[in-house]
């Protein structure tokens, strides 16, 4: 069952999402000695990640993975790993940072990142965002990647540039122990209503979600 955590504004939602993620990390490390975390891309999670970076956590026990990556040159400012480095990875003292080498091309990076995640049994926490069309990671409505059963999938013909991307699959994301989504704004209200009514979109195909939203998104 979905759980809804609604806050007066996006800053509060971001801070509470960071607290939730921090607690999940502590619990995972306490129970299993490690925590594997999938992180979102885009600009929405930046504030949350900055809050997280300021917390006292067992950073050396955490392994981080981008949920998806755009096929762009290494270091491009629109890459998700650049955003993650700027807002979290460069600010914490330790951790293992996995990246998707899309600078090598879509198929090569799928193969390499697939081999990387073979070492990963179960994702402990999946933290994602959501677009106005209900997409998450780089899994868009109607795209062939939605029905690809591999752990890591190529995404062609993305409706948002760039058209080529690499993403964790619905199957792999749905296996996670904890799933959380941070999203906000009036532009998301319509799609959240559809989700509450039971419509299946890419984001809620991953299973039950802990939703962190602002008041504007649930009007």
Q: Which residues of 199-208 are buried (b: 16+ CB within 10 A; e: fewer)?
A: eebbbbebee
Stretch 94-119: mean pLDDT = 97
Question: Which tokens go with 51?
Answer: 């809050």
Range of the domain at 60: 3-218
Q: Flag whether pLDDT at 119 surpasses 90.
A: no
Return d(Cα 198, Cα 210) in angstroms, integer. Answer: 16
φ, ψ for residue 182 (rounded to 5)? -110, 120
Using one digit for the tens of pLDDT, what is the confidence trace for 153-210?
999 999 999 999 999 999 999 999 999 999 999 999 999 999 999 999 999 999 999 9
Return d(Cα 99, Cα 208) in angstroms, integer. Answer: 26
Instruction: Residue 127: give its domain's CATH number.
Output: 3.40.50.1360
Q: Flag whether pLDDT at 219 surpasses 80.
A: no
Residue with tokens 């390499």: 112
DSSP state of 73: -
Percentages helix, strand, coil for the chain (3-state, rounded to 5) are: 40, 20, 40
Q: Which helix (H) or strand (E) holds 20?
A: helix 10-32
Name the band, by pLDDT with cuts 50, 70 and 90, for residue 112.
very high
Return d(Cα 64, Cα 197) in angstroms, integer. Answer: 33
Return d(Cα 1, Cα 181) in angstroms, integer. Answer: 14
Percent of all residues in the chain with a pLDDT value above 90, rounded to a whole number: 98
The whole-model pTM stands at: 0.96
Question: Which tokens go with 99?
Answer: 């990246």
Return d(Cα 117, Cα 134) in angstroms, integer. Answer: 25
Using one digit for the tens of pLDDT, what is the confidence trace for 18-56?
999 999 999 999 999 999 999 999 999 999 999 999 999
Q: Which of 203, 99, 116, 202 is nearest to 151 (CA)?
A: 116
Q: What is the pLDDT of residue 173?
A: 98
CB-based contacts of 147: which residues, under 8 Å, 6+ apart?
Answer: none
Our count of domains for the chain comes to 1
Return d(Cα 203, Cα 134) in angstroms, integer. Answer: 6
């Amino acid at each position: 069952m979905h759980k809804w955590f609604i806050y007066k504004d996006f800053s509060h939602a971001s801070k509470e999402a960071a607290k939730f993620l921090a607690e999940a990390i502590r619990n995972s490390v306490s129970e299993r000695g490690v925590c594997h975390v999938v992180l979102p891309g885009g600009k929405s999670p930046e504030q949350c990640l900055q809050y997280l970076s300021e917390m006292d956590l067992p950073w050396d026990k955490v392994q981080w993975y981008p949920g998806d990556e755009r096929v762009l040159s290494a270091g491009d400012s629109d890459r998700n790993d650049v955003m993650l480095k700027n807002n979290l990875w460069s600010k914490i003292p330790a951790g293992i940072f996995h990246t998707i080498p899309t600078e090598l091309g879509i198929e090569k990076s799928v193969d390499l990142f697939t081999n990387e995640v073979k070492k990963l049994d179960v994702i402990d926490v999946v933290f994602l965002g959501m677009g106005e069309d209900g997409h998450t990671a780089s899994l868009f409505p109607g795209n062939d990647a939605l029905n690809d059963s591999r752990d890591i999938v190529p995404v062609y013909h993305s409706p948002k540039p760039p058209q080529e991307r690499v993403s964790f699959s619905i199957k792999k994301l749905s296996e996670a122990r904890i799933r959380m989504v941070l999203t906000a704004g009036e532009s998301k209200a319509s799609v959240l209503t559809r989700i509450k009514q039971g419509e299946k979109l890419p984001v809620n195909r991953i299973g039950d979600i802990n939703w962190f939203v602002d008041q504007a998104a649930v009007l």
